[in-house]
A and B are shown apart, each in its own frame.
Chain A
Amino acid sequence: MSKIHIDDETLRPAPRRSNDRVEEIGLGVLGVVLLVGGWEYAAYAGWLNPVIVSSPSAIAQAFARQWQSGDLMKDLGISLAEFAIGFSLSLVVGLALGVAMGMSRWVEYAADPFIWFLYASPLIAFYPLIIVWLGFGSTTVIALTFLLTFVTIAVNTMAGVRSVDPQLIRAVRAFGGSRLDVVAKVVLPASVPLVLAGVRIGLGRALIGVILGEMFSSNGGLGYHISFYGAHLKTADLFVPLTTVVVIGVVMTRICAVFERRFLAWRN
């Protein structure tokens, strides 16, 4: 059949052209510049209350201050450590639980209601209980991070294990493979796409957990200082850890995208 290309430019973005990438980056930069410049000008012109709204230049100064005093690096260190521990725990428990649920109907049936409750409910409301149980500080932050994250990983891993083509399992068994061979050579590799998706979502939720935990129940870290500067009406200082958190989120998503592309090369 001869393919017809109806001229669609008026309705949808035209197909990518070679100079498109340049335009994309250029306009993206322009958007950020407009936002920052507009904000700065509004503050400079006195349209906004500088104490409450602050301005990009004040934020830049606050950044320099927090950088030189070492506060920012300290916060970053605390937050990233809590993040790493909480996320690693979630990864181990989530993968194990997910594989168990994917391979045994009984485990899945029994775990299902709990998993879905944890998945659907706003776990932040539990944080007062966690403080009561674990006290104030990093342990609580890590526990909250864990609670928010492991369920996502478990559910996605289960879906990944379930998505494995039974033909492949039969093939490995037919060539004399053991149950362990099946897990190592078929189930895990084949479930990688969904597991990675779970990891990506989990990373986002772990970041929420860390910031949330720090905001409400610790005395250090980026989240703590976001909350602290807010309470003291130091808007410019507040934006330093806040921007850092946003950047961490973006960087994490980018890294994930690279990983997913590399691991998923075999799919098309």
Chain B
Amino acid sequence: MSSLPSQAEARLAPRAAPRAFQRALQPWMRAIVGVGGVLVFLVVWQIVGSQDLIRSDLISYPTEVLRSLYAMVASGELWANLSVTLQEFVLGFFPAIVLGVALGLAFALSRRLLYLFDPLFAALYTAPMIAFVPVLVVWFGVGLVSKAVMVFLSAFIPIVINTRTGVEEVPEAPIRALKAFGASRWQIIAKGLLPGALPAIMAGLRLAVGRSIVSLVAAEMYVSVRGIGRLVQVYSTSDRAAEIFVLVLVISSLGFLGVVLIRRIEAYVAPWSAAR
């Protein structure tokens, strides 16, 4: 969130002109105040938790969370479950990319096809995917397959929709140039529509990562043999707040890493859009 000078002016309080040292600190203010706020929060949490001012099994405290993280890593428990979750994710996500982009492209190219499926996709796009967890478990079992299908569904729909809009919004000029230089239909798709839609497709992937991780964890929490969501369930029945915080951190990092990774890939495959 970069604030442009004009936006800074939009803030209401007309302030006195900042003094020189304040001006020098200005770019750092966000970091200073932000980190300060987080530190204050952590310290208060630590004191309240460790002194048992509020029952510490309910809220835990930062050092206990770290200790639990270490214990879960050291015992191999975390990795044993995380690897299953990652496997389910990969099995669902990659087919979703391939089929999602293909169908999105088809929707953009054929209005008939779009009309045929539009109501179904619109309904699935707005519906909370987690509501489908129980039926997928009934259909595909309690193991890995139902989770992979959940990831697939959660990722597939935003990818289809983003690809479709991306292709539809490729500007007309480059397509005109391709035609003028004699490009065939397939060349127009491969050299025009797909690269032009790439930024939108990557945005769809970012959206899909977040959605599918949430669905995956929820599905594992509903019923599973192994996985991060399964661990959440296990520790919640034994009132272990520290371990749950660890798991929350792990899951958040997964989503964060996924988005960072996609941004990296985007900067590599679509430098023209990342540079803008």
B27 at interface by CB-CB < 8 Å: no
From residue 124 to 157 of chain A, which have CB atoms closer than 8 A to chain B? 124-129, 131-133
A208–B131 alpha-carbon span in the complex (Å): 8
A192 at interface by CB-CB < 8 Å: no
Report A-chain residues with C-beta under 8 Å of the C-beta of B44: none
If the complex has contacts A212-B128, A246-B123, A249-B126, are A120 and B256 also in contact, measured as CB distance less than 8 A? yes
Report A-chain residues with C-beta under 8 Å of the C-beta of B128: 204, 207-208, 211-212, 245, 249
From residue 15 to 49 of chain B, which have CB atoms closer than 8 A to chain A? 29-30, 32-38, 41
If the complex has contacts A30-B116, A109-B34, A245-B131, are A132 and B239 also in contact, measured as CB distance less than 8 A? yes
Report B-chain residues with C-beta under 8 Å of the C-beta of A223: 131
A100 shortest CB reach to chain B, Å = 11
Report B-chain residues with C-beta under 8 Å of the C-beta of A187: 12
A21 shortest CB reach to chain B, Å = 10
Q: Is A12 touching B109 in the complex (CB atoms < 8 A)? A: yes
Chain A binder among B65-73, B88-96, B241-249: B241-249
A231–B138 alpha-carbon span in the complex (Å): 8
Q: Is B116 touching A31 in the complex (CB atoms < 8 A)? A: yes
Q: Is A110 touching B34 in the complex (CB atoms < 8 A)? A: yes
Chain A, Cβ-Cβ closest to B233? A128
Q: Is A121 touching B248 in the complex (CB atoms < 8 A)? A: yes
A231–B223 alpha-carbon span in the complex (Å): 9
Q: Is A253 touching B126 in the complex (CB atoms < 8 A)? A: yes
A163–B9 alpha-carbon span in the complex (Å): 11
- Number of residue pairs across A and B with beta carbons under 8 Å? 209
Report A-chain residues with C-beta under 8 Å of the C-beta of B119: 28-29, 31-32
Q: Is B138 touching A238 in the complex (CB atoms < 8 A)? A: yes
A74 at interface by CB-CB < 8 Å: no
Q: Is A52 touching B134 in the complex (CB atoms < 8 A)? A: no
Q: Is A125 touching B217 in the complex (CB atoms < 8 A)? A: yes
Q: Is B130 touching A31 in the complex (CB atoms < 8 A)? A: no
From residue 73 to 129 of chain A, which have CB atoms closer than 8 A to chain B? 102-106, 109-114, 117, 120-122, 124-129
If the complex has contacts A31-B120, A124-B221, are A229 and B232 also in contact, measured as CB distance less than 8 A? no
A122 shortest CB reach to chain B, Å = 4
A36 shortest CB reach to chain B, Å = 11
A229–B112 alpha-carbon span in the complex (Å): 37
If the complex has contacts A122-B214, A246-B127, are A227 and B120 also in contact, measured as CB distance less than 8 A? no
Hey, what's the 0/1 contact readout for A217-259 against B, CB within 8 Å counting as 1? 0000001001101110101001100100111011011000000
Q: Is A229 touching B134 in the complex (CB atoms < 8 A)? A: yes
A109–B8 alpha-carbon span in the complex (Å): 13
Report A-chain residues with C-beta under 8 Å of the C-beta of B236: 127-129, 131-132
Report B-chain residues with C-beta under 8 Å of the C-beta of A185: none
A192 shortest CB reach to chain B, Å = 15
If the complex has contacts A24-B115, A120-B252, are A6 and B176 also in contact, measured as CB distance less than 8 A? yes
A169–B7 alpha-carbon span in the complex (Å): 12
B255 at interface by CB-CB < 8 Å: yes
Report B-chain residues with C-beta under 8 Å of the C-beta of A216: 221-222
Report B-chain residues with C-beta under 8 Å of the C-beta of A166: 6-7, 9-10
If the complex has contacts A102-B11, A126-B248, A246-B123, are A208 and B241 also in contact, measured as CB distance less than 8 A? no
Report A-chain residues with C-beta under 8 Å of the C-beta of B213: 122
A2 at interface by CB-CB < 8 Å: no
Q: Is A120 touching B135 in the complex (CB atoms < 8 A)? A: no
B155 at interface by CB-CB < 8 Å: no
A164 at interface by CB-CB < 8 Å: yes
Q: Is B251 touching A182 in the complex (CB atoms < 8 A)? A: no
A215–B129 alpha-carbon span in the complex (Å): 13
Q: Is A6 touching B251 in the complex (CB atoms < 8 A)? A: no
B179 at interface by CB-CB < 8 Å: yes
A11–B110 alpha-carbon span in the complex (Å): 8
Report B-chain residues with C-beta under 8 Å of the C-beta of A253: 122, 126
Binding site for B on A (CB under 8 A): 6, 8, 10-14, 23-24, 26-32, 34-35, 52-53, 102-106, 109-114, 117, 120-122, 124-129, 131-133, 161-166, 169, 173, 179, 182-183, 187, 204, 207-208, 211-212, 215-216, 223, 226-227, 229-231, 233, 235, 238-239, 242, 245-247, 249-250, 252-253
Binding site for A on B (CB under 8 A): 1, 3, 6-7, 9-14, 29-30, 32-38, 41, 58, 108-112, 114-120, 122-124, 126-128, 130-135, 137-139, 168, 172, 175-176, 179, 185, 188, 193, 210, 213-214, 217-218, 221-222, 229, 232-233, 235-236, 239, 241, 244-245, 247-248, 251-252, 255-256, 259
List, sorted by A's number, 9 A–B pairs whose CB atoms are closer than 8 Å: A23-B112, A31-B120, A32-B119, A32-B120, A122-B251, A127-B236, A129-B241, A179-B12, A212-B128
The 5 A-B residue pairs whose C-beta atoms are closest, nearest first, are A230-B134, A128-B236, A13-B111, A109-B33, A121-B252
